[in-house]
A and B are shown apart, each in its own frame.
Chain A
Amino acid sequence: MTNRAQSMTADAVREMLMRPLWRISGPWLAAVLVCLAVVGAAGYAWSVQLSEGMGVSGLRRPTYWGLYIVNFVFWVGISHAGTLISAILRLTDAAWRRPVTRVAEAITLFSLMIAGLFPVIHLGRAWLFYWLIPYPNDRLLWPNFRSPLFWDMTAIMTYVSASALFLYLPMIPDFAMLAERSTGFKSSVYRALSLGWIGDDRQWHALERAMKIFAGVILAVAISVHSVVAFDFAMGIAPMWHSTIFAPYFVAGAIFSGIAALILVMAALRRTLRLDAFLHWKHFNNLGKLLLTMCVVWLYFTASEYLTAWYGNHHAEMAVFNKKVSGEYAPWFWTMVVCNFFVPFILIGVKKLRNIPTLCVSSVCILLGMWIERFLIVVPTLETPHLAAASGRYDPSWVELTITAGTFAAMILLYLLFSKLVPIIAVWEYEHDSLG
């Protein structure tokens, strides 16, 4: 709501944006310790699974995919925040994006790092994950390139590396500036990370050009990654998975949850790092409008998906449909609809109600709703296969629940550490746009 930063000098802006880097507060330290404890508990749970075997999880015939795959799909979805906000807005030269891009790009990288862990955790024998890599070996075996598991690996590897570079490139000038302003070991690290940046017009030109091309590439990769995740389901002939719209449905859901995550992180940073001079109501309002649009798109896709299954009236599809809409998963299903549509539609759609706290409430609801949606896609279908006699029930074990909690803590932890290493708003981008 304030535009104070625009009346500041470049030096003052730098000082404000770099202030959080030089001091560690008590609440920050407490939050890091809490997150570390939860991540540690998740690490212990995983170690139990590694030593005892997959039997300690709730995964039983016929539900071989459980919370691990739910979390995988959820976190890949969250990663779309950075891609959408940063890449699209970069390509369209939308000036308002500048204070938002780094926040969004960091969400992408961290959530992908977390998502990438789940296929490995899900393997059971995690230490054999490298069998997916096509390397010459003494058994003359190659991975099955036709397998969706291999698709996942290549898609995520490309997306993680592209996202990491997409985040890193605009940080190079900031690293050079931080090297000048710090001393000792810190300065050496920042100097190494700045790759000898001198800030001449050739380097600026190369940076801007690279970011433009990257934006185009990363947009295509992001859409493909979530489509591949959807193909993991849609390529099977399981009830309510074998759908032609699964890929765009997943992409739309991913963008939806990604924007919600971005709003939440921005609000948290604005409050804790006192960035209200940089993250204005305009940014929240614009993202809120995007969220409202995606909320309607999500409803459209969900309605199309369920209506088609219901109208087809195939007995196997109807078994899953009924289980979700009016059976044992009905409370979850209707909670999802309320969280993903009714709450955001009212709180953001009614202009008088739209403000930062209601946007945060909507975002929390959407994240919850989208996690439930992922759960409802994975579990009821596997519990109810074509052969009724083969049906079963899935109850997640403490190991899966602890690992799930650990990933949320890991996300917060990564963000807390990141906020102390790099200015959370790209200093040069902000100056370029706001100070002219």
Chain B
Amino acid sequence: MILSAEYRAQDRLEEALLALREAGVSAEEIALFSAKPVELPEGLLDRPGRMSLVSILCALALGIGFTSFMFWAQLDYPLITGGMPIVSAWPVGVVIFEVTMGGAVVGVMLSFFLQGRFFRRPRIAPPAGPRDPESIVLSAIVPDDRKDEFQAILSS
């Protein structure tokens, strides 16, 4: 079952979170809903992601892929270059850079959607009805048989 509590003070929220984690609730089973980002101490509710790695990999993939395509295209229909090399990295360096950066952008967007879990039903739905924009709602999936224990933690 899902339990929710609304906090206005950050220290109260941190205490509740710590108690929940110590009681065995994993970070995966906790969600905070707020109108602005919540900054928490390290270790309390970390959300490790691989956005940087994904963006670098996408940048490399698109950069290398497009460079290979350019080289293939130049050999496929060779322009008359007056004795200069048909394939040369220097004159296409700008294009390689831009496409690589484009790949990084694609990587960031992909990771953003995956990490933020967009376009899929959330495991913990946001609380219904109007709420105070300055408050933070803590929701957690807890075992039914320990409901009272967790209710006490959230309301303490």
Q: Within the assembled complex, what's the spacing in Å between the Cα atoms of A220 and B105? A: 12
In the assembled complex, B99 has its CB within 8 A of some CB on chain A = yes
Give the interface centre of B35, B55, B104 by most chain A CB atoms within 10 Å: B35
Chain B residue nearest to A14 (CB atoms) is: B133
Q: Within the assembled complex, what's the spacing in Å between the Cα atoms of A358 and B34? A: 41
Give the interface centre of A173, A198, A200 by most chain B CB atoms within 10 Å: A200
Whether B133 and A431, one on each chain, are in contact in the complex, defined by CB atoms closer than 8 angstroms, is yes
In the assembled complex, B134 has its CB within 8 A of some CB on chain A = yes
Chain A residue nearest to B55 (CB atoms) is: A213
User: B residues within 8 A CB of A431?
Assistant: 35-36, 133
Which of B51, B69, B70, B122 interacts with A209 by CB under 8 Å? B51
Whether B108 and A213, one on each chain, are in contact in the complex, defined by CB atoms closer than 8 angstroms, is yes
Whether B112 and A200, one on each chain, are in contact in the complex, defined by CB atoms closer than 8 angstroms, is no
Q: Within the assembled complex, what's the spacing in Å between the Cα atoms of A435 and B34? A: 14
In the assembled complex, A4 has its CB within 8 A of some CB on chain B = no
Whether B74 and A206, one on each chain, are in contact in the complex, defined by CB atoms closer than 8 angstroms, is no
In the assembled complex, B5 has its CB within 8 A of some CB on chain A = no
Q: Within the assembled complex, what's the spacing in Å between the Cα atoms of A89 and B51? A: 21
Would you give the shortest CB distance from A156 to chain B, in whole angstroms?
9
User: B residues within 8 A CB of A204?
Assistant: 34, 36-38
User: B residues within 8 A CB of A169?
Assistant: 112
Whether B70 and A145, one on each chain, are in contact in the complex, defined by CB atoms closer than 8 angstroms, is yes
**Number of chain A residues whose Cβ lies closer than 8 Å to a Cβ of chain B:** 52
Give the interface centre of B38, B101, B116, B133 by most chain A CB atoms within 10 Å: B116
Whether B34 and A199, one on each chain, are in contact in the complex, defined by CB atoms closer than 8 angstroms, is yes
0/1 interface trace, chain B 73-102, chain A, CB 8 Å (1 if under): 110110100000000100110110111011
Would you give the shortest CB distance from B16 to chain A, in whole angstroms?
14
User: B residues within 8 A CB of A428?
Assistant: 35-37
Which of B35, B38, B73, B104 interacts with A10 by CB under 8 Å? B35
Q: Within the assembled complex, what's the spacing in Å between the Cα atoms of A27 and B14? A: 50
User: A140-B77, A161-B102 are known contacts. Are A195 and B126 too (CB-CB below 8 A)?
Assistant: no
Whether B79 and A224, one on each chain, are in contact in the complex, defined by CB atoms closer than 8 angstroms, is no
User: A residues within 8 A CB of B124?
Assistant: 200
Give the interface centre of A154, A161, A169, A214 by most chain B CB atoms within 10 Å: A154
0/1 interface trace, chain B 103-147, chain A, CB 8 Å (1 if under): 011001101100111110010111000001110000000000000
Q: Within the assembled complex, what's the spacing in Å between the Cα atoms of A196 and B116? A: 10
Whether B134 and A9, one on each chain, are in contact in the complex, defined by CB atoms closer than 8 angstroms, is yes
Interface SS of chain A: helix
Chain B residue nearest to A150 (CB atoms) is: B95
Whether A210 and B73, one on each chain, are in contact in the complex, defined by CB atoms closer than 8 angstroms, is no
Would you give the shortest CB distance from B27 to chain A, in whole angstroms?
9
User: A158-B105, A214-B105, A220-B101 are known contacts. Are A140 and B76 too (CB-CB below 8 A)?
Assistant: yes
Chain B residue nearest to A11 (CB atoms) is: B133
Whether B101 and A142, one on each chain, are in contact in the complex, defined by CB atoms closer than 8 angstroms, is no
User: A residues within 8 A CB of B116?
Assistant: 202-203, 205-207
Would you give the shortest CB distance from A109 to chain B, in whole angstroms?
14
Q: Within the assembled complex, what's the spacing in Å between the Cα atoms of A177 and B38? A: 17
Q: Within the assembled complex, what's the spacing in Å between the Cα atoms of A173 and B38? A: 14
Whether A154 and B51, one on each chain, are in contact in the complex, defined by CB atoms closer than 8 angstroms, is no
Would you give the shortest CB distance from B58 to chain A, in whole angstroms?
11
User: A residues within 8 A CB of B33?
Assistant: 198-201
Q: Within the assembled complex, what's the spacing in Å between the Cα atoms of A10 and B135? A: 10
User: A residues within 8 A CB of B45?
Assistant: 201
User: B residues within 8 A CB of A157?
Assistant: 98, 102
Whether A202 and B47, one on each chain, are in contact in the complex, defined by CB atoms closer than 8 angstroms, is yes
User: A158-B105, A213-B55, A214-B105 are known contacts. Are A202 and B34 too (CB-CB below 8 A)?
Assistant: no
Q: Within the assembled complex, what's the spacing in Å between the Cα atoms of A15 and B27? A: 35
User: A residues within 8 A CB of B108?
Assistant: 165, 210, 213-214, 217
Q: Within the assembled complex, what's the spacing in Å between the Cα atoms of A146 and B88? A: 9
Q: Within the assembled complex, what's the spacing in Å between the Cα atoms of A205 and B88? A: 42
User: B residues within 8 A CB of A236?
Assistant: none
User: A199-B126, A207-B112, A207-B116 are known contacts. Are A228 and B94 too (CB-CB below 8 A)?
Assistant: yes
Whether B104 and A200, one on each chain, are in contact in the complex, defined by CB atoms closer than 8 angstroms, is no
In the assembled complex, B32 has its CB within 8 A of some CB on chain A = yes
User: A residues within 8 A CB of B119?
Assistant: 195-196
Whether B35 and A199, one on each chain, are in contact in the complex, defined by CB atoms closer than 8 angstroms, is yes
Whether A134 and B69, one on each chain, are in contact in the complex, defined by CB atoms closer than 8 angstroms, is yes
CB-defined A-B contacts under 8 Å, sample of 27: A141-B77, A142-B74, A146-B92, A151-B95, A154-B95, A157-B98, A161-B102, A161-B105, A162-B102, A198-B33, A200-B124, A201-B31, A201-B32, A201-B33, A201-B38, A201-B47, A202-B47, A204-B34, A204-B38, A206-B112, A209-B49, A210-B112, A213-B104, A217-B105, A221-B98, A228-B94, A431-B35
Residues of chain A touching chain B, judged by Cβ–Cβ distance below 8 Å, are 9-11, 14, 134, 140-142, 144-146, 150-151, 154-155, 157-158, 161-162, 165, 169, 173, 177, 195-210, 213-214, 217, 220-221, 224, 228, 231, 428-429, 431-432, 435
